[in-house]
Amino acid sequence: MGMRFKDRAEAGRRLAEGLPQFRERPDTIVLGLARGGIPLAVAAAEALYLPFGAILVRKLGIPGREETAFGALAWCQGDVVRIVNKPLRDLVLNRGISESALQAVESTERSELLRRAKEYPGIDHDLRGKNVVLVDDGLATGATMRAAVEAARAAGASMVVAAVPVASLDAYTSLARVCDFVMALHTPGKFHAVGAFYEHFEQLSDADVVSQLEGAGSQTRHRQHH
């Protein structure tokens, strides 16, 4: 299998080892893509002595092939950023999936994003002038990470880095165009699913993530007083 990670926390620590240049930098924050990226962001931020938080993202999955994203949404400081893979969206429409079916996916995901925005702590960091390290547990299409990058830029980040344990070559290439720097520990030639690269890859509930993010505020404040 090549590279395997024990779990998301171990993957986060491995990411931190690959980002020594950001260690203890006062202008840097690590943001995990909610939900799967949060445990990695927490572990990476701890190893790098950086504050952390979350960026809320939702994939827009093709009806009947939800794993394939025709776009993604990201929530950042009250705004919803939307990115769409137009050629793929057109292809799907040509294959007979209706415009209204795609709109239904989008409105469902948008309302889920807004629901989480009310519940999740650690999502209101001021990103102006900051180096933002965006972390996820892996990139299959890269759609949600692209939306997160746009959201961080819209919020005023001066530098945006995407850091993941594993990425498909397509996702890596498309992100390299929009990020200042992409770090993927592993870009396998054959990519099936992110979960295949982990021994333990459980679904995370809102409660799991919220409890991890509740530490974000206090830790950040504590760190910033030094």
HEC string of the chain?
CCCCECCHHHHHHHHHHCCHHHCCCCCEEEEEEECCCHHHHHHHHHHHCCCEEEEEEEEEEECCEEEEEEEEEEEECCEEEEEECHHHHHHHHHCCCCHHHHHHHHHHHHHHHHHHHHHCCCCCCCCCCCEEEEECCCECCCHHHHHHHHHHHHCCCCEEEEEEEEECHHHHHHHHCCCCEEEEEECCCCCCCHHHHECCCCCCCHHHHHHHHHHHHHHHHHHHCC
Domain assignment present for residue 80? The answer is no
Domain assignment present for residue 77? The answer is no
Report the CATH number that the domain containing residue 152 is assigned in CATH.
3.40.50.2020
Candidates 32, 27, 29, 26; CA nearest to 132 is: 29
pLDDT at 3: 77
pLDDT at 214: 87
Q: Which residue positions in the chain have pLDDT lower than 70?
A: 1-2, 216-226
Q: pTM of the entire structure? A: 0.92
Coil, strand or helix: which one is 166? strand
Domain assignment present for residue 38? The answer is yes
Whether the Cβ atoms of residue 185 and residue 3 lie closer than 8 Å to each other: yes
**What is the rounded distance in angstroms from the CA atom of residue 131 to the CA atom of residue 136?**
16
Candidates 152, 136, 71; CA nearest to 110 is: 71
Domain assignment present for residue 70? The answer is no
Domain assignment present for residue 68? The answer is no
Domain coverage including residue 163: 8-55+123-224
Domain assignment present for residue 142? The answer is yes
Domain assignment present for residue 159? The answer is yes
Domain assignment present for residue 71? The answer is no
pLDDT at 219: 46
* Count of structural domains within the chain: 1
pLDDT at 1: 45
